[in-house]
Amino acid sequence: MMYRLMNVRAVNILLSLLLFLTFGGLRASAAEPHFTEYQLKAAFVYNFAKFVEWPTQTFPSPDAPITIGVVCERDKEFADALEQTINNKRINGRRLAISHIRSLQDLKGCHIVFICRSEKKLPVAEVLQAVKGQSVLTVGETDTFMQSGGIINFMMEGDKVQFEIDNASAKRAGLQISSKLLALAKRRGGGT
Amino acid sequence: MKQMQSSSKQNAGFSGLLSDFGDRWFAHRPNLNLLNFVFASSLAIAISMALPSVALAAETQYAAANLGDKSLEELLNTPVSIVVGHQEKLSQSAAAVSVITEEDIRRSGATSIPEALRLVPGLDVARVDSHQWAISARGFNDVFANKLLVLQDGRSLYTPLFSGVFWDVQDTLMEDIDHIEVIRGPGAAVWGANAVNGVINIITKNAKDTQGILITGGGGTEERGFGGFRYGGQLGQDVYFRVYAKYFNRDDSAFPNGSDARDAWQMGQGGFRIDWDTLERTQNLLTLQGDIYGGRASQIFNTYDPSNPPSYARTVQQDFRLGGGNLLGRWTHEFSDTSELKLQMYYDRTERNTVIFMENQDTYDLDLKHHFELGERNVVLWGAGYRIVADKIGNSASISLNPDNRRTQLFSAFVQDEITLVEKRLKLTLGAKFEHNDFTGFEFQPSGRLLWTPHDQHTLWASISRAVRTPSRAEEDVKLSNVIPPGGLFPGSPTAVSTIYGNEQFKSEVLIAYELGYRVQPHANLSIDLTTFYNDYDDLRSVEFGPSPTQPLTAPPPPPGLFIPFHGDNKLYGETYGAELAATWQVTKRWRLTPAYTLLEMQLHRQPGSTDTTSEADEGRSPQQQFSLRSSLDLPQGFSVDATLRYVDRLPTLRISSYVELDVRLGWHSKNNNLEVAIVGQNLLAEQHAEFAPSFINTQQTEVQRGVYGKVTMRF
């Protein structure tokens, strides 16, 4: 009995310690809002849409939405974050819509395409090839994305999200990127 | 703001309901002191954590929705918060699941699969001697711990001969392990018999992910020398392969007096894997893999020897041979994003040649698994399997099996339906496995699991399942004899032989398990996982006095003194209950803390009429409490420091004291990761300590010694 009582006390102490540890840490870091990488990237993608002009013929009607294709087969996090970000927002009177890309056919009608680094089923090169010559703003997040012909690529610098732009590719795609956006890019290819 | 209020209200409501249920339930069981405490404290934690964190999570979400309104300049200056990895999928399972990753294993400094399993919260890993381990979850630990199912890439490592796992032959190149998934609690509805207290699934990497050359090697005091080589290449478009070879030489452990226990061992192993991966084009993946291994281990056996009067016992030091191999083929076909079929076949051979026992065992297995979506709300998983196990035994006076060769078959089928009751919030999983084995005939193992996600950061789950541990070949056919020296029974008693006989009427051990779990991510950098369980066992193995009802009683040859026959039966029942608490706290981007605490209480009882005098004491073979704290710290310039502190409670039945031990690894890797150097100290706090003691097989009590080794890994 004595043994059991002592054990209960030991458990009690350990649990309290754990509780204290976890909440000590929690309080210390709970002051400012925290964002995940994909929440930030979703906000960036929404902002890109504001600073890019598409040829008028890419929209079937004056109030047709700007469609953002998400190529993230396994990872729902980006799509969820984007959904939250663009919810009820309009750019130049246009709504924003999300399209979940599962095959290359789904890319049709997209204005922006974001390709997750975790994507395995649709290789970056194939997606970029499929939208070549069309006015699609391609956004990626891998080291080789620009070499493969992507337009905007995210990279991490410490704990900050930065991006690079290949303006030459953008021009070839018939996209007009505002100088403000170009000025904020870490690296720019193909001049302004 | 609105959303926040409603979720915290919902939460308080549920907590209230739970504690209400708890109060009423415990009112009738006033004697379950500890259980009461476990539940009360779990609830206290759950409630105290749930309330503030719901508010916090809602706040974060609200802020995220407004993130889009920030200017680009502001966005560029907003830091990304650190997120605890690998949790997303885990938090969505209605079972006590933990995963240890390739990185966890590398950074722990573990040089073998059993040692790597020490990283898993809730597992009880005890090293018996240089090459034997006792590993279990939720009690009943032993060298032949029989309630834990272990698989590697879908191949069963559980031996039906003795019910348990020979850990000394379960190996691969540690760098080829992708992850190890551990389910505590019954997994029988999918995995089948013997997944009673848990399932361990060791998954190796796809050949595509092991391209290039890897050379690793090192040595030290206990890990005397080891080396590994892997080469991965491409055979054609979409066809990737790797070949590997490894060798190690481990030092003796020590006797309690500090001298060498003469149980050193060395093993060599090689293997390959080919993946023809055309999932992207034709939705097919073909995998072919195989391993072959062999080695020698030293051991001191205490044997019964009728030709050696007057003691009739002989202590034999033997350098015995171990070997085996396996070949596995798997076809994976994806019909669509939501439907996948896996067809797998394997062959496995093991050979063990000791002075008290020789065995050759061949296993042929065919396995089919298919999952698909049925309508909007159902994900159906079903499968079927067939297995043949054929063994050939070399008998000795100490251990013999009658008949000395036997072929057994196993048929199985299972179906499971995961039903989404409320989108993203409430899921019900119903499943059952039907099996037919040659020992006990049909077995039915159903389970029901409910997963409730009241909020994105909170998950509650509950389950009820039935699982069985089917008899091993030995439990039906064994004759196991030990010599009791003069005076060993009572003062002046003559030399005696005790023999345990198998029993063909031996039944399956049955478990009904109740589990309740709670996972919370109160903050982006903190996740907490709590599981409580109550296990109700029936028909547990007991060792009864008297001859076996089915085996002929053949009095052993001399000694002329006493002969005491025993036989196996199912006259034990019992309850176990406890809690497993694990957390991951990413303190800063470079520093992670992983505490874990396990509490276990076992109560075993004899049925009326049982003459068993020893099995109830199995209670004292598993630690009541375990605590561990792991710290992983990245330093600049590629340096890293990892430390694991662990406390394991005493094992009164085996007279093993509680111990605290510490492992530390200092690592450095080059910028391009092509070169890695590590110095690892294991069991640093004491010169030597005991973790377990041998049981059925009469080997000697040894202790684990402090060890230091260095390791270099190169990749091209």
CATH level 2 (architecture), domain A37-189: 3-Layer(aba) Sandwich (3.40)
Which of chain A's residues have a Cβ under 8 Å away from the Cβ of B525? 29
Per-residue model confidence (pLDDT) at position B590 = 87
**What dihedral angle (degrees, nearest 10) is formed by the CA atoms of B421, B427, B429, B430?**
-30
* Of A116, A60, A57, A54, the residue nearest A91 (C-alpha): A54
> Would you say the C-alpha torsion B543, B544, B545, B546 has a positive or negative sign?
negative
Per-residue model confidence (pLDDT) at position B3 = 40
Q: How far is CA B255 from CA B129, B663, B681, B702, in A?
A: 10, 22, 21, 5
* Of B178, B289, B175, B169, the residue nearest B230 (C-alpha): B175
Q: Which of B53, B80, B625 sits opposite A36 (nearest CB)?
A: B80
- DSSP code, position B25: H
- DSSP code, position B716: -
Per-residue model confidence (pLDDT) at position A13 = 53
Q: How far is CA B195 from CA B137, B185, B383, in A?
A: 11, 8, 16
- Rounded CA-CA distance B626/A63 in Å is 63
Strand ranges in B440-508 using DSSP code E only, listed in sequence order? 441-455, 458-469, 478-484, 496-501
H or E stretch at B104 = helix B102-108
Which two three-digit tokens encode residue B573?
């029942």
Per CATH, the homologous superfamily of domain B87-715 is TonB-dependent receptor, beta-barrel domain (2.40.170.20)
* Of B240, B73, B80, B265, the residue nearest B166 (C-alpha): B265
- Rounded CA-CA distance B149/B198 in Å is 6
**What dihedral angle (degrees, nearest 10) is formed by the CA atoms of B99, B104, B106, B111?**
-60
Per-residue model confidence (pLDDT) at position B313 = 87
Strand ranges in B607-706 using DSSP code E only, listed in sequence order? 625-634, 639-648, 659-669, 675-682, 688-689, 704-705
- Rounded CA-CA distance B19/B9 in Å is 16
Q: Which of B60, B526, B597 sits opposite A33 (nearest CB)?
A: B60
Check A184 against B72: CB less than 8 A apart: yes
Strand ranges in B117-170 using DSSP code E only, listed in sequence order? 123-127, 133-137, 148-152, 155-156
B185-204 pLDDT, tens per residue?
A: 998 888 888 999 999 999 99
Assess contact for B1 and B62: CB atoms under 8 A. Answer: yes
H or E stretch at B410 = strand B405-422
CB pairs under 8 A between A and B: 133
Strands B496-501 and B562-588: parallel
3-state secondary structure of B468: strand
A107-133 pLDDT, tens per residue?
A: 989 999 999 988 777 888 889 999 988
A133-186 pLDDT, tens per residue?
A: 899 999 999 888 988 899 999 998 877 899 999 999 999 999 999 998 998 888
- DSSP code, position B202: E
Q: Which of A8, A35, A102 sits opposite B80 (nearest CB)?
A: A35
H or E stretch at B344 = strand B339-354
Check A21 against B595: CB less than 8 A apart: yes
- DSSP code, position B37: H
3-state secondary structure of B642: strand
- Rounded CA-CA distance A90/B112 in Å is 57
Strands B399-401 and B707-715: unpaired
Which two three-digit tokens encode residue B156?
């069963």
- Rounded CA-CA distance B454/B17 in Å is 14
C-alpha Rg value of chain B to the nearest Å: 26
Q: Which conformational region is residue B128 in: left (phi greater than 0), alpha (psi within -120 to 50 degrees), or beta?
A: alpha
Give the residue from chain B lying closest to A41, CA to CA. B75
Closest-CA distance of chain B to residue A19, Å = 8
Check B33 against A184: CB less than 8 A apart: no
3-state secondary structure chain A: CHHHHHHHHHHHHHHHHHHHHHHHHHHHHCCCCCCCHHHHHHHHHHHHHHCEECCHHHCCCCCCCEEEEEECCCCCHHHHHHHHHHCCCEECCEEEEEEECCCHHHHCCCCEEEECCCCCCCCHHHHHHHCCCCCCEEEECCCCCCCCCCCEEEEEECCEEEEEEEHHHHHHCCCEECHHHHHHCCCEECCC
- Rounded CA-CA distance B496/B418 in Å is 58
H or E stretch at B279 = helix B279-282
Closest-CA distance of chain A to residue B293, Å = 34
Whole-prediction pTM value? 0.77
Per-residue model confidence (pLDDT) at position B55 = 41
Q: Which of A26, A40, A184 sits opposite B523 (nearest CB)?
A: A26
Which of chain B's residues have a Cβ under 8 Å away from the Cβ of A77? 88
* Of B565, B557, B560, the residue nearest B478 (C-alpha): B565
- Rounded CA-CA distance B359/B400 in Å is 11
Burial of B22 (0-12, 13-18, 19+ CB in 10 A): middle
* Of B163, B245, B250, the residue nearest B502 (C-alpha): B163
Q: Collect the ranges in chain B with pLDDT lower than 70.
A: 1-65, 80-91, 555-560, 696
Per-residue model confidence (pLDDT) at position B365 = 97
- Rounded CA-CA distance B501/B511 in Å is 25
Give the residue from chain B lying closest to A15, CA to CA. B41
Query: Taking the CB of residue B212, how many other CB atoms lie within 10 A of it?
Result: 12
- Rounded CA-CA distance B142/B694 in Å is 8
* Of A118, A109, A107, the residue nearest A140 (C-alpha): A118
- Rounded CA-CA distance B213/B210 in Å is 8
- Rounded CA-CA distance B350/B326 in Å is 9
Cis status, amide bond into B310, omega within 30 of 0: yes
B490: amino acid identity, one letter: F
- Rounded CA-CA distance B146/B141 in Å is 8
Closest-CA distance of chain A to residue B135, Å = 23
* Of B462, B580, B450, the residue nearest B515 (C-alpha): B462
- What are the contacts of A147-153 at 24+ separation with CB within 8 A? A148/A124, A150/A115, A150/A124, A151/A175, A152/A48, A152/A185
Q: Where are the domains of chain B?
A: 2-76, 87-715
Q: Which of A37, A44, A102 sits opposite B75 (nearest CB)?
A: A44
Which two three-digit tokens encode residue B74?
């502001």
Average pLDDT over residues A79-104: 88
- Rounded CA-CA distance B401/B1 in Å is 71
In whole angstroms, what separates CA B617 from the centre of its chain? 23
Residue that is written with structure tokens 């598993």 in the block: B622
Q: Which of A14, A22, A102 sits opposite B526 (nearest CB)?
A: A22
- Rounded CA-CA distance B513/B138 in Å is 11
Closest-CA distance of chain A to residue B80, Å = 5
C-alpha Rg value of chain A to the nearest Å: 22
B65: amino acid identity, one letter: A
Check B81 against A36: CB less than 8 A apart: yes
A33-59 pLDDT, tens per residue?
A: 577 888 899 999 999 999 999 998 899
- Rounded CA-CA distance B562/B494 in Å is 7
Query: Taking the CB of residue B601, how many other CB atoms lie within 10 A of it?
Result: 21
H or E stretch at B11 = helix B2-27
- DSSP code, position B80: P
Query: Taking the CB of residue B537, how many other CB atoms lie within 10 A of it?
Result: 26
Q: Where are the domains of chain A?
A: 1-34, 37-189
- Rounded CA-CA distance B333/B331 in Å is 7
Assess contact for B694 and B261: CB atoms under 8 A. Answer: no
3-state secondary structure of B254: strand
Closest-CA distance of chain B to residue A52, Å = 13
Which of chain B's residues have a Cβ under 8 Å away from the Cβ of A81? 64
Of B709 and A62, the structure prediction assigns the larger pLDDT to B709
